Amino acid sequence: MKHAYDILRNTFGYNEFRHHQADVIAALLAGRDVLTLMPTGGGKSLCYQIPALVRPGTGIVVSPLIALMQDQVDALCLLGIRAAFLNSSQDRAQQQQTETALLRGELDMLYVAPERLLTERMLGLLERVTVALFAIDEAHCVSQWGHDFRREYQQLYALHERFPTTPRIALTATADQRTRAEIIEQLKLHRAAVFINSFDRPNIRYTISDGQQSREQLWRFLQEEHPLDAGIVYCLSRKKVEETALWLQGKGRRALPYHAGLADATRRAHQQQFLREDGLIIVATIAFGMGIDKPNVRFVAHLSLPKSIEAYYQETGRAGRDGDPANAWMAYGLQDVITLRQFMHQSEAETHFKQIAHHKLEAMLGLCEMIGCRRQALLGYFGEVLATPCGNCDVCLQPPQTWDGTEAAQKALSCVYRTGQRFGVNYIIDVLLGKNDERLERNGHHRISTYGIGGEFDASEWRAIFRQLIARGFLDVDIEGYGALKIAEQSRALLRGELRLDLRKAIKIDKKKGRTPDPGASLRPGDNALFDALRVLRAQLAKEQGVPPYVIFHDATLREMINLRPRSAEQMRGISGIGATKLERYGERFMAEIAKHSPAA
């Protein structure tokens, strides 16, 4: 462990381990297998990078995303670590060069996709070298219950059979109890040391709002909270991704689409732009994001409802990896619920899996409609108890009001029943509002008892009522794809007056209460010019070396430079994130820039 601490300080530039990093590293150095759950931005990579450098041989890292290997390897090389990757983006000559370096013992770390690792040729190659450890990143991909299932991951148990004395570490940021159990079972980690850190990301503010006019809500959120920041906007469909990206571009924001329907080269180019440029917005389906290392993503916005809390937490976790304040914002509407339920019903999965997916969606809906602290509910879902409300979610900042919606719900349910349970939400609302409509007359619904009895609410208010009735299981959506509403069994008690139903009132977040703190607020007055100058220098160096700016230094490191104003290498060495190699490469240039802006200069 002394060697491990030396590498932490001298190579990575940090003075102490966080969370369970030291325990994980000690277990791997002792030759034990490990399963660790650590929040995004919590330093998972150090858990395998440091023991790979201490143990003899090469650390083999299983990574599911080819697009990210280059940046991960570049970051390690800038630290003086001998790292490489093998994937299909390389030509045969490049692959042979990397394989030769591996066989000669010239690599500290090698990143490989699971598909390539499991080939007989690759396994045979590894049997000819000393393997320090196997690191299985994004290990939740092994689970059929998870949200990023990759069938190849289930075959990684072969590593245990072929290399029984080589320690393995499986890492993930998001896994409920069922997923953890499957990771252990599928990867044969029954004797592994298990380390579960807090799932809490206290720097992220969670806000979930009504989905009415969601684009306009998104634009207000961006203008008020993040006018210049980089972020991710998630949408359910490719079409919505394209439309939203174009709409943001039309509003003057730099935005790019990302989805599986784009050409591979386009997707790679858009991802590289996002990683390397400031202020860019990626509009994406869930195809984007796993393993994203960009630390200064200031917001993740959802214009569509995620299908599970695991997916939501994984996606929102891409915000604020640097620990600075960030936002997780979502506008969720009635159509999201209907669409996701239809997807599930139309799925060709086995009944058991459909039931699990249904329960996961119900939990997600419960999070959206709850009137208690959202962070307490999120952590509770993963088995962690937060004793007091967080004070940093929309519910804590502005507690929602409730009202007795029993009578309104009875009207809505009765109208669904009297129209034959054959129509969608908009049609039912037209009946309740007594619309003069040819379809209603043709169907004879202008003569039924519920026609026109809902005039106390407008159409948007009725949609909020129906959304809550569907979310809370009083109404079902048909499985044929037409969106017709049907009375659920539990509605009968409500219709008979045996149950009182409280509904949420729609609220607007108080702008002063809801504003996210500025990550640059820790700077002293007058230091902003120096901060901007250091960021320009960092961008210039990053461009010269073909890496994202954060690979040079994180914003937190720049702010510490500004506060300490180092004038010597020794002073510079004490700043978090500056190891020996980075000090040698960049120290003089950053100190020179600081000197230009210092009073004594």
Q: Which of 512, 494, 499, 526 is nearest to 414 (CA)?
A: 494
Q: Which structural domain, as residue segments, surrounds residue 443? A: 402-504
What tens digit of pLDDT does each residue of 58-82 get? Answer: 999 998 777 678 888 988 999 999 9
Q: Give the per-residue pLDDT at 67.
A: 67
The Cα–Cα gap between 119 and 107 comes to: 20
Report the CATH number that the domain containing residue 408 is assigned in CATH: 1.10.10.10
The Cα–Cα gap between 214 and 219 comes to: 9
Does residue 589 fall inside a structural domain?
A: yes
- Residue ranges, the chain, pLDDT below 50: 509-513, 601
Check whether residue 188 and residue 110 sit in a common domain: yes
Q: How many domains, in total, are found in the chain?
A: 4
The Cα–Cα gap between 319 and 315 comes to: 8
pTM of the model: 0.80
Q: Which of 507, 420, 408 is nearest to 465 (CA)?
A: 408
Check whether residue 89 and residue 187 sit in a common domain: yes
Q: Strands 299-302 and 326-332: what pairing?
A: parallel
What tens digit of pLDDT does each residue of 224-246 get? Answer: 999 999 999 999 889 999 999 99
Check whether residue 174 and residue 232 sit in a common domain: no
Check whether residue 542 and residue 406 sit in a common domain: no
Check whether residue 177 and residue 227 sit in a common domain: no
The Cα–Cα gap between 559 and 506 comes to: 40
Q: Strands 231-234 and 299-302: what pairing?
A: parallel
Question: 163, 196, 229: which is the final residue of a domain?
Answer: 196
What is the CA 463 to chain-centroid distance, rounded? 29
Does residue 435 fall inside a structural domain?
A: yes
Which residues, other chains included, contact 358 with Cβ-Cβ below 8 Å and sequence gap of 6+?
341, 344
The full length of the chain comes to 601
Does residue 451 fall inside a structural domain?
A: yes
Check whether residue 169 and residue 245 sit in a common domain: no
The Cα–Cα gap between 575 and 594 comes to: 14
Check whether residue 317 and residue 412 sit in a common domain: no
Q: Which of 552, 521, 525, 522 is nearest to 537 (CA)?
A: 552
Q: Give the per-residue pLDDT at 392.
A: 94
* Residue 156 DSSP one-character state: T
Report the CATH number that the domain containing residue 166 is assigned in CATH: 3.40.50.300
Does residue 410 fall inside a structural domain?
A: yes
Report the CATH number that the domain containing residue 554 is assigned in CATH: 1.10.150.80
The Cα–Cα gap between 47 and 23 comes to: 9
Strand order, beta sheet including 255-258:
204-210, 326-332, 299-302, 231-234, 281-284, 255-258
Check whether residue 137 and residue 28 sit in a common domain: yes
Check whether residue 160 and residue 210 sit in a common domain: no
- Please say whether the beta carbons of 293 and 73 come within 8 A: no
Q: How far is CA 148 from CA 64, 151, 310, 445, 522, in A?
A: 10, 10, 10, 46, 37
Question: 289, 319, 350: which is the final residue of a domain?
Answer: 350
Does residue 27 fall inside a structural domain?
A: yes
| Cα angle: 236, vertex 339, 431; to 5 degrees | 135
Does residue 392 fall inside a structural domain?
A: no
Token digits for 528?
A: 């902003």
Q: Which of 566, 550, 558, 560 is nearest to 598 (CA)?
A: 566
Check whether residue 331 and residue 441 sit in a common domain: no
Token digits for 21?
A: 């990093």
**212 beta partners:** none
Q: Is the dihedral of CA 127, 132, 137, 143 positive or negative?
A: positive
What tens digit of pLDDT does each residue of 366-404 get? Answer: 888 888 899 999 998 888 899 999 999 999 998 888 899
Give phi and psi for 264, each to the nearest 5. -55, -45
What tens digit of pLDDT does each residue of 402-431 get? Answer: 899 999 999 999 999 999 999 989 999 999
Q: How many helices (H) and strands (E) does the chain have?
A: 28, 17
Q: Give the per-residue pLDDT at 509.
A: 46
Check whether residue 128 and residue 232 sit in a common domain: no
Q: How far is CA 215 from CA 232, 303, 330, 363, in A?
A: 14, 8, 11, 25
- Please say whether the beta carbons of 267 and 258 come within 8 A: yes
Does residue 511 fall inside a structural domain?
A: no
* Residue 142 DSSP one-character state: G
Question: 196, 222, 252: which is the final residue of a domain?
Answer: 196
Residue 311's CB: how many other CB atoms inside 10 A?
20
Q: Give the per-residue pLDDT at 246.
A: 96
- Please say whether the beta carbons of 196 and 37 come within 8 A: yes
Does residue 383 fall inside a structural domain?
A: no
Specify the 3-state DSSP secondary structure of 135.
Answer: strand
- Please say whether the beta carbons of 286 and 220 come within 8 A: no
The Cα–Cα gap between 362 and 49 comes to: 39
- Please say whether the beta carbons of 422 and 393 come within 8 A: no
Which residues, other chains included, contact 436 with Cβ-Cβ below 8 Å and sequence gap of 6+?
none
Check whether residue 172 and residue 247 sit in a common domain: no
Residue 190's CB: how many other CB atoms inside 10 A?
8
